[in-house]
Structures are given as structure tokens and as C-alpha cells.
Chain A
Amino acid sequence: MANADCIIIQGSNMAECHPVGFQWVSEAKARGARIIHVDPRFTRTTAIADKHVPIRAGSDIVLLGALINRVLTEGRYFDEYVRAYTNAANLISDDYVDTEDLDGLFSGFDPDTNSYENSTWSYQTDEHGAPLKDPSLKDPKSVFQILRHHYSRYTPEMVEENCGIKPADFDYLYESVTENSGRERTTCFAYAVGWTQHSLGAQFIRTASILQLLLGNMGRPGGGIMALRGHATIQGSTDIPTLFNLLPGYLPMPSAGVHDTFDDYVAAVGTPETHKGYWANGRAYATSLLKAWWGDAATQDNDFAFDYLPRINGAHGTYQTAVRMLNDGVDGYFLLGQNPAVGSANGRMQRMAMSHLKWMVVRDFSLIESATWWKDGPEIETGELKTEDIDTEMFFLPAANHTEKAGTFTQTQRLVQWRHKAVNPPGDAQSELDFFYELGQAVREKLKDSDDPRDRPLLDMTWDYPVDEEGEVDAEAVVKEINGYFIGGDRDGEPLDNFNQMTDDGTTAGGCWIYAGVYAGGQNMAARRKPRDEQDETAAEWAWAWPANRRILYNRASAAPDGTPWSERKKFVWWDDETGKWTGKDVPDFPIDRAPAARSDAAYGGPANLDGDDPFIMQADGKGWLFAPSGMIDGPIPTHYEPQESTVANPLYSQQNSPTRMVMRREDNLSAPGAGVPGSEVFPYVFTTYRLTEHHTAGGMSRWLPYLSELQPEMFCEISPELAAEVGLEPYGWATLVSPRAAIEARVLVTKRMTPLTIGGKTVHQIGLPYHWGVGGQGAVVEGDSANDLLGVTMDPNVYIQNSKYVAGTIMPGRRPRGPELVDFVEKYQREAGLSPESGNQQVTVPAEDVEASHHAGQGRSAGGHAHRGGDSAVGVTPGKTLDGGRDGASDGDGTTASATVDSADDRSGRITIEPTEATEPAETAVSNRADDGDPSDGDPDHGRHADGSAIAETEVAEAEARARAARDRQENEEEDD
């Protein structure tokens, strides 16, 4: 990143959220890079940027699309790069119809399921399955032309109209980006939750990827798209996930009716028949995982105990689970260092859900709000809940902190870093490792005499971890299992060196294939701590990066197709003719001896068949995807839809919101009606939530600390002077903020850092809300109302991340009502706006004939999946998201089309049929009823499809950053030399 010539920070407040990471931006700036911050607010990031471009929250695709449009029309794209490394020349199915022609729908929309059947998005292929291309890029069905057509109406005028960005600012942005791209220069994008926390989150990132591919900024020093993540090991917790849809190493959880057999499953993961890249060895990865978990019980005969794995059949994310809780469908809940009572959208719904549990285990450092909601939560105050009526059993178990246990965190650049244990945990505090180990022991002990086959997976599980003298599990033993080891043979028990050693015959075990090598040679590679000034700029001996300690992904693209560097200035990895190898400043992320000119006849067949100019080696076809034939639920090309609750009409299409977004139609999750609909005027302003440097998420690790609390002691909202004048708010006085779900109070910070925007001739006021405070909890130094209570739950269909950057609401001076009056107060607004569960939740708003046309287009090809599939993240670059199904015949034809994505196959059927509480409760109880009335099906999102992309938003591209590390060391050394 420090190598970039221009850095666009959009949807991220990097300086505030990642101050230490921001040093590389500072460094780039010091070297003359231009920093542009595109954000609704003027933040601390903006303060040292060269330029602030205020933007209306949620309109990012319009801006980026307009940049793409202009890059294409003015021919400022990096022609050679685009031709060689992207799928620009590929021809797309004749049946494909663009949103431009269907008023906001792509072809293949199924109005019954509100989802796409994506066969029409696939490549045209020849009889061997090899994709057809048009090198001239002229064919109207070529990706390049489709792109041009798609973005042709994304103009500077549109940007001004919809984003509120002045034409001059747009020009500045455009010039900055294009002038700083090409052979000699690179531009980098950085984003964070400002993009992901939208109902279009994944598509935001896709749009930037397309722009970056067009400009040739992917896989090159100082280029790329950098994800900035908020938690110590948020990367690790998707690599080795506690996520419902993933197993370690981005292997999917098997889906009922889709992965009924191991072969089905492996076919979906990746086989040599479907892949060029490393996913071709999917069977070995899956087998090794099963061996690691079930040891001797996993044999060739029982498909390595594949049947021990439970099946999913829909979305089982946290918000869906909350709904199930409200329906009494869940007994027990473990909270591990999480505080959903404050940190999750629609906090009230979360707390009400907890009150329906039979028991709940909270593991944390202090008594957070989620541990004490039953005695001092906001609903106790309003009388919606009464402590003496709550049946939930609560367990609070003190957790060990990061100094009291050994283990690894995986940071945002995939670097796995070991932490040594410093001290013993105090009192009864223990690590999660010990807790789960002991819980597993206890459960197994109680079941040991069971002959119930359902208990076999628990009893057969390998669970014999060594403990030290203090009775604590040796984390290194777990690392070894994650790394993998040989079974049998002369290296029996020895750790694997890399994932290429994994086999599909049960002779290796490995808990997470991408981590293979972290314990190579019996050495804990993550614990390596060679000081940075004792090694080269890549710092390869500091900890360990997956995969295979490769710090930078796809760096093949930093050289021209012929293997020479694009330019001296941006030299990074290149082909050395003399040795016949790739070489450079980093470990080449490419088969080391695959010559640039090498060509393979086969379209697939694993890494051995990569062409010499297929830099994106984890993509099924080795190319960067301008157009995503698969992998995205909501469209192959990003399209602008208005956010849920937007008060602005979509200027491009009749389709107001994303037709595939996941909504929850519930009385306790009401939405504002949306632009133009009566009632929307009740909630005229836009709330957008964010973080502050001084606090950490829901505050569990900051509001209990005086040093941090004093720096940002009180919940506040940021508003413009104009809005303050309009509403009559006094600086540093109180304001009450009301959304369709809740009302909170906050202090008022009137600041010019908030700019009213003119959108479609109307002034749009945005209100910034930090979300770190909560009510209740014990021992917190500071408390305040939680901004997340205002949020509704509407999700990105790809990754199920909720939209918290755009909430409609209103603001008024003074404090909010207390007690039961608060409920009445909110209801008054809801009545006034005439809200119902249907409000704002209309999925499709285009004319019926367009829907029909779209649906029809899809059905035309319902027979097959795409010829070209597998592949991974449409977003582009990260390995790991290859779950897209689309196997031939994989679908069991349950009503959705055969080539639907794997998990969507069952989405409706699996959704509610197993709900324990079928009965619809009559809506008779006035208040508490709101949480759980209505049909249970109302609660579930309208399409609970499971997508492969869970990690898309969170495991984004990091290569630029890693590369920056190298450069920064160089810089550092220079500085020290001075």
C-alpha cells in the first residue's frame, strides 16, 4: 500500500479504525501519493487525505460505475492487461439479458423465490467446454461490450444526482485514478464495513474490482483492493470458521439434498475435472479434514465419516437464529466474547430472542450487556420484560484474555501469528480452548454408554489433546492437527509440510488445508519472530502466512504476459529466462517454472493446466473476472439499487432495491416505506453508523477501561449545522433519534464535517452515529444508548451481512421518553408512517413483463449449469470461495432450476418446515408479542439461500498490503540509515 501512487479510501475510516495500518497510507502520502477519501463523513481519515469527496451512503456503485463507464468510453483502461488477464474477451450466453434492458433485473429472475437462476450468465463454450472469446472485444456478447452497455447510463450527471458528488469532484477522482494507473503507476482501493455493511455489500467490492482490473491494478505493487477488518482474527475465524456454512479451509458445510454423498460434496468443492487451480484437489482436503476429526472412525468404507457431518438447508445465520429463538426453536446459546445485545443490528430483537432461550452461556471478561439484559436491559426499563418472568438460565464464565493463553490470530493479510502465554488466567477464568475441551470431555463422558447412532460423531471424535501440568490444553497440539499430519507410512504422525501432501485415501489428516505448513517440520511457524530489521522486506520469517507462507497473492499479474515487468518502477515478480523460473521480490504466486508462453489444451485439470498467463490462479479459469458468470447471487455485474429504506428513488431502474436482498418481514423489524411511498416522510434523514478509534465494537473491551472511556465518554450523533438549524438542535445538548424500530438518545455534535447533500434536487441530511455504547451491563465505566437498536435487519444475499450504513430515521431535540412511554413513543412513529411488515420490503418493483422476460430467459437454459463453473469468488482474488455449485445434475430438481447455486436449492423447503412452533400466535398481546407474533415464516428471510460467499466481504484481497509490507521495510531501513 505504501507503494501506491493514489489511494482511494472508500467505505472505510481507516485512520480511525486501523491507525497502525494507516501508517502505510501516511508513508505513501509522504512519498507523494494522492489520498482521496470518499465517505459520507469528514473523518480523521479525511483529515489527512488530499481530498474529501462526500457521498450519500449506499450510492457507491453509481460512483464506481460511472468511473468504469468513463474509463471504458474514454479508453483509459490498461488495454494489454485487460486483454491478457481478465475475461473481457469472453463471450457470454446469448440468453443473457442485462439490467439495462429489463429495468433493473438480470435474466433468470425467479419471482417465486426472488432469486436468480444464473445459467444465462455463463460463458459460451465450444464443444470441449473451452470458452469462446472475441479478441477484438467488439462482439456485443463479449464481457467487454456487456460492461460498456451496462454502465453506459452511469454518468457524472447521475453521480451528482444520486451520490451528491459535484462534477468537479468526480473529475478529480477520475483523473486521479486514471493518471495513477497503467504500467508505471498504480492505484489502491481500501474499504471496510462501509461497503460490506450494505445490502449490496459484496457488489460494492465487485465494482471496485472491475475498475481495478480495467485499470490493471490487481496483483501489482501498490494496487489492489484492501480490506480493512475490525477484529484480531476475523480473518482466522473465516479460515477456521465458526460460521454455519463453512468448514475449515473454506470447505462448505454440506447441504441437505445437494451434498448427500461424499462424491456430490467433493464435486462441489472442486475436482481436477472442474478446476485449473488448487481447488482441484478438493477431495484430498475434505478427506484430510474428516480424518482429522474422526480419526480411525473415518475410513474409506464409510466415506471418511462424511455422514457424521450435519447438513444445512438454508441460512442459519445469527439473525435467522435470533428469529428461531423468538419462536422458541433454540434452547441454548453460547456467546463467546460477543455482545449482540449491543453489537447486533436491531438490538431489541436480539435481547427479546435471548429471553426465549432456556439457557445461555456468556463467556467474557466482564458482565457485558448481553450477560445482564435480564436485569438491567432496556426492555426491563420499558417493562417489556420482567426479570422475574424470564426463564432463561444464565451462565457467566470468565474468559482468559490474550495474555493468558497461547494461540494464533490471523490478521487481515492472512498472517498467522502465535501469541505466547504470559501469565495464568485469574480465578476461574479459562480460555475457550480449555472450555470447549472440558465441555467436550463432559459431554462425551455423559454419553459414553450411549448406543444412539446420533451420538457416534461425538464419541468417535478425536478429542485426546495433551494437557499441561495446569490442566490446560496444549494449543500447539491443536495447531499440529490443523496443520495436518501423516497417517501410517514411514512418516506416521509427522506434520505435513504443505497442502500438496494431502491425500484422498486417508493417509493424511489435516484440520484446515490452507493452514498446512504452519507446523511444518514440527516447528511452530506462526511463532517465528525474526526481527524485521534482520530480514528482507518481505519479512518471510515473521510468523507464517497462508497459503504456504505466501505473503502476496496473484503477483504473476505484476509482470506483463510475456513475463517481463510492466515497468521498472513497478517491478515485482518476473520470469527469468536463464533459470527458467519466476523470480522477484516476493515468492511468486504461480507455478514456479510455468513459462509465460506455456499453454495448456485443457480448460481444467488442476494447477498443471494453468496457462503461462493465467495469473489469478485460484479462479477457475485463471483470469480476473470483470463479469462473474457464477458466484454472485445478485447479479454478474454490480448494479445500483437503492438501500433498504432509502428516501431516494433509484434513478436508473424501476427496480428500487436489490430484488434478491434478504428481508425479514416482522413486526419487530419494520422498515421505512421507501422513496415516494406515503409514510416515508416520517423518517426523512439517513443514519449511518460507524466506529471511533477510542472504542472497540460493542464496547466490551473498551467501555470497561477508564483510559479509553474518558476519550469518548458519551454516545453522540454528528449532524451538520444546517440540520441543527433545521431541527433546532443545540450543540452538546440531547437529541432523540427515532428509526422505524427504536428510539435512542444521544448528545449532539454539530459539525461541518457532516455535509448535507443535494440528491435529485432535494437536500439529504446524513447523521453519523457511533455504535459503541450500550445500556445495562455491570461495571462499565460509561454507558449510553446503542445505535444498533435503530438498525433493521436486511442483508446482503451473498454474505448475510446486514445493512447498517443506511437507516432511515428522524431526529428531534431533547431526551427520549423513559419506561413504557418509550414503547408508545416508537409506536406513535410507526403508526404515523403506517408501517407494516410489508413496508419497504417489496422485492420486485419492475413491470410484470420485465419480470416475465427475465424469468423466461432463465428457463430457456434451465437444463444445464454453466459449462464453466467452480471458480471462486466473483469478487476476484481470494482463494476459498469455490463453493458455487452448478454441477451438472447436482440439483434434485425440487422446483428451483438445476443450476441454481448449491444451497439455494432448498431454500424455501428447508426454511420453516422444521420449525418447532408452527402455530401462529394471535396478535393479542400488545407489547411483548411484537417479538414473536406472526407466522414463523415471516421471520425467516425471504430467501434463506446459503451462498458460498460468506467470506467474500471479509476475506478480501490483501495482496497490496502484504506487498506494502515489503516496501515499508525498505523505507524503514532507509529511514534508519539516515
Chain B
Amino acid sequence: MARFSFLEWPVLRQLRTSDKTGRGESVVSQQTRDTTPRTVTADKVVQSVCPYCAVGCGQKIFVKDDKVVQIEGDPDSPISRGRLCPKGAASEQLVNAPGRVTDVLYRAPKAKDWTKIDLPTAIDMIADRFIEARRNHWEDFDDKGHPLRRTMGIASLGGATIDNEENYLAKKLYTAAGAIQIENQARI
């Protein structure tokens, strides 16, 4: 009720319309009349897949101003028919989680807390350590002289919500680097 217009005073509308008891259309506010769901006002809708379990339910991601405003089941999906479980239904909160951290954090040895660093620095530091760890624990042959050509200095544990492409690149890089202790949620 931004501005009061006398003619729109619901008491008068009560008299005007058939809704004498004031329980129906006569009491509707302008805001109610303007009701539009955010699924309609979204800039775009993107088809996606739920990140939780392996059923692979289809999701529709509604985006407005480069922000995810709504995630709901994709009725087109033959797998899920638009349905989602509570976790899937909470995906929007996952995406816009208040507890989400978006800074790169670093904790030096013995330090008591995190410090913020920038991403390129972090990657550079990790690359240095990657190379060093790789060399430190390199193994050329086993005790019988069979070639190993590997490093034991690097291990990795990946989640099973990592994309195939990501797993592919990771495995490729690790393998090329000779790192073999690569594991996955699939075994946990």
C-alpha cells in the first residue's frame, strides 16, 4: 500500500463488488495483484544435474543478475520427472550458502590461524611443493629392478561430485607426474 487511494479503499470495494464480506477480491492489495514468481522474472534458466546422490535428477537453475535465485526439479528429465529429495531441494541454499568461503586461505606451519592469499600465489606455491614432493619421493625401480617411474610423495582424495572432465584432467596430470596414490569417494 504505497500510496493510499480512496477509491481503492477496500471498504468501498467491498460495497462495489460482490465480495460484500470482504474475504475475497475486494481486499486484494496492489502487491498481490502484481505477484510474479521469480521463475518468471529470471534472466535465464539453465538445465543442470543435482550434485548430491547418483540418481542424477535433473535441475533447472534460475538465474537473475548472475545470481542463482531458484533451483528446482526439471520436469523434462526422464530420470527424476521434476522431483527432488530434500538435499536436491536445498541446492539453492548450497549454492548461496552463507557459510561458503570464497577466499583462498593459507596456513603456515605452526600457525594458529589462516591468512588470506591470492589465487595465483597459491597455485604457484602448490606447484612448487608439487614438484618438490614429486622429487622427494620418486621411485625408479622396485627392489627387483622392475621399473616403477612414480612418486609416492603426492596423494589425492577426490570427491565423487567432481565432474568427469575434472577427474579426467586430474588423473591425467597426476599420472603424467607419476603420482599414483589417487583415490576417490567411490571406495569410501
Contacts and interface: CB of A to CB of B under 8 A. Distances in A.
B77 to A, nearest CB: 7
Given A311-B150, A318-B183, A242 B170 contact: yes
Interface string B20-54: 00000000000000000000000010111111111
B188 A403 contact: no
B181 interface: yes
Contacts of B110: 387-391
A680 to B, nearest CB: 28
A124 B64 CA distance: 68
Contact of B83 (A20, A436, A454): A20
B147 A436 contact: no
Contacts of A598: none
Given A340-B157, A909-B142, A407 B165 contact: yes
A951 interface: yes
A701 B51 contact: yes
Contacts of B173: 436, 439-440, 443, 458, 461
B136 interface: yes
Nearest to B44: A422
B160 A329 contact: no
Nearest to B83: A20
B146 interface: yes
Interface in A474-508: 475, 478-479, 481-482
**Dominant secondary structure at the B interface:** mixed
A801 B184 CA distance: 11
A930 B99 CA distance: 35
B132 A331 contact: yes
Contact of A229 (B53, B123, B132, B180): B53
Contacts of B78: 532, 535, 539, 542, 965, 968-969
B184 A240 contact: no
A313 B162 contact: no
B177 to A, nearest CB: 6
Interface string A399-410: 001111101111
B155 interface: yes
Interface stretch (B1-9, B10-18, B88-96): B88-96
Interface in B69-101: 71, 75-81, 83-88, 90-91, 93-95, 97-101
A713 interface: no
A461 to B, nearest CB: 5
B84 to A, nearest CB: 7
Contact of A392 (B109, B153, B158): B109
Contacts of A397: 104, 119, 122
Nearest to B108: A393
A458 B133 CA distance: 15
Contacts of B84: 20
A422 B68 contact: yes
A237 B99 contact: no
A823 interface: no
A649 interface: no
B177 A443 contact: yes
A169 to B, nearest CB: 30
A608 interface: no
Contacts of A365: 94, 97, 100-101
Contacts of A375: 112-113
Contacts of B150: 310-312
B102 A428 contact: yes
Interface stretch (A97-105, A173-181, A411-419, A557-565): A411-419
A329 B137 contact: yes
Contacts of B146: 256-257, 260, 311, 313, 892, 906
Interface string B102-132: 1111111110111000110011111111111
Contact of A232 (B124, B160, B171, B175): B160
Contacts of B54: 18, 228-235, 411-412
B80 A20 contact: yes
Interface string B152-175: 111111111111111111111111
A321 B53 contact: no
Interface residues on A, range: 35 or more
Given A336-B162, A457-B176, A446 B48 contact: no
A238 B154 contact: no
B153 A317 contact: no
Interface in B53-68: 53-58, 61, 63, 66-68
A247 B152 contact: no
A383 interface: no
B149 A257 contact: no
Contact of A233 (B114, B122, B126, B162): B162
B163 A330 contact: no
A138 interface: no
Contacts of A257: 142, 144, 146
A532 B76 CA distance: 5
B174 to A, nearest CB: 8
Contacts of B125: 395
A445 B106 CA distance: 23
A705 interface: yes
Contacts of A408: 163-165
A850 B14 CA distance: 95
A550 to B, nearest CB: 16
Residue with the highest number of chain A CB atoms closer than 10 Å, among B88, B112, B171: B171
A442 B182 contact: no
Contacts of A412: 54-56
B161 A906 contact: no
A68 to B, nearest CB: 28
A422 B147 contact: no
Interface in A420-455: 420-433, 435-440, 442-443, 445-447, 454
B57 A20 contact: yes
Nearest to B48: A419
Contacts of B88: 20
A433 B169 contact: yes
A914 B181 CA distance: 14
B93 A707 contact: yes
Contacts of B171: 240-242, 247-248
Nearest to B93: A705
A433 B81 contact: no
Contacts of B130: 332, 439, 443
A757 interface: no
B46 to A, nearest CB: 4
Given A17-B53, A396-B114, A909-B142, A309 B175 contact: yes
B56 A461 contact: no
Given A420-B47, A529-B47, A707-B90, A243 B184 contact: yes
Nearest to A804: B188
A721 to B, nearest CB: 28
A675 to B, nearest CB: 28
Given A237-B184, A411-B56, A422 B48 contact: yes
Contacts of B177: 443, 457-458
B164 to A, nearest CB: 4
A417 to B, nearest CB: 5
Contact of B159 (A336, A531, A702): A336
B167 A909 contact: no
B93 A706 contact: yes
10 nearest CB pairs, A to B: A411-B56, A427-B102, A337-B159, A407-B163, A231-B160, A310-B150, A779-B99, A331-B133, A539-B78, A442-B127
6 contacts: A307-B149, A407-B163, A442-B124, A542-B78, A702-B87, A702-B90
